[in-house]
């Protein structure tokens, strides 16, 4: 039997992303309470139903805020559960995003003098990356009415994303040597994505 605790919490989130693509700086956002029991089951107090890590991953993708708490002690387990979601996603075939060298460097930073700077840096980098992703999505919609203009926006956003990634790689000592060759698999992936975009644009013209 579940005790009667609030189904949502109000938390202040700097730079929260709203549904219209803007920021709601210093706004309070509702955070759904997810209870984790000793048997590892997760309970969504807002929907009064048990959920899985896949459900929580979908909530993240939809921008739904939630906090995971220990059902018995009330301890905040959000970080541990989000990390577990990443672990599950990384182990799905074709879903991995974190390169092994990056993971090694990240692990190596634990206990390092730079450790305290890493969270803020990663958060800012991902926020900048998200804003560029919005520009890329906008270019996709514009491409249907003005293909050339849409493609230019897409290419500009892609260049900005690459610049942020290069900056991050340099920080963690992973940047390739000047003039060095780009990883072949990354080049091939980008080539396929561009080709797919061109096919969509061609289909839209017909």
Return the beta strands (E) in 37-129 as ranges.
Answer: 42-44, 49-51, 66-70
pLDDT tens sequence across 40-73: 999 999 999 999 999 999 999 999 999 999 999 9
Query: DSSP label at 76?
Result: B
d(CA 69, CA 138): 37
Mean pLDDT, rounded, of the chain: 74
pLDDT tens column, 148-194: 555 566 566 666 666 666 666 565 554 544 544 445 555 566 656 66
SS3 content of the chain, % helix, strand, coil (to 5): 50, 15, 35
Strand partners, 16: 24
Instruction: Give the model's confidence band at 87: pLDDT under 50 very low, under 70 low, under 90 confident, else very high.
Output: very high
Task: Domain ranges for the chain, please list them.
Answer: 8-90, 100-205
Of 110, 123, 111, 106, the residue nearest 171 (C-alpha): 106
Give the distance, in angstroms, between the CA of residue 14 and the centroid of all CA atoms in the same chain.
Answer: 17
pLDDT of residue 179: 46
Q: How many whole angstroms separate alpha carbon 13 and alpha carbon 188? A: 38
* Predicted local confidence at residue 184, as pLDDT: 54
- Interior/surface letters 62-88, b for 16+ CB within 10 angstroms, e for the rest: eeeebbbbebeeeeebeeebbeeeeee
Reduced to 3 states (helix: H, G, I; strand: E, B; else coil), residue 10 is strand
């Amino acid at each position: 039997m579940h005790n009667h605790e609030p189904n949502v919490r109000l938390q202040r989130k700097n730079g929260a992303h709203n549904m219209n693509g803007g920021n709601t700086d210093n706004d309070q956002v509702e955070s759904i309470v997810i209870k984790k029991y000793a048997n590892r089951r997760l309970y969504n107090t807002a929907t009064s139903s048990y959920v899985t890590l896949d459900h929580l991953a979908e909530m993240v993708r939809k921008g739904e805020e939630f906090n995971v708490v220990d059902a018995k002690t009330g301890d905040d387990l959000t970080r541990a559960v989000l990390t577990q979601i990443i672990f599950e996603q990384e182990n799905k075939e074709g879903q991995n995003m974190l390169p092994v060298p990056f993971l090694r460097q990240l692990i190596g930073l634990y206990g390092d003098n730079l450790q305290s700077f890493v969270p803020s840096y990663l958060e800012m980098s991902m926020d900048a990356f998200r804003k560029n992703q919005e520009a890329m999505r906008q270019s996709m919609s514009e491409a249907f009415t003005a293909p050339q203009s849409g493609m230019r926006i897409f290419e500009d956003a892609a260049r900005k994303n690459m610049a942020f990634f290069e900056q991050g790689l340099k920080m963690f000592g992973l940047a390739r040597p000047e003039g060095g060759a780009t990883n072949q698999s990354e080049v091939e992936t980008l080539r396929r994505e561009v080709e797919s975009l061109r096919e969509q644009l061609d289909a839209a013209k017909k």
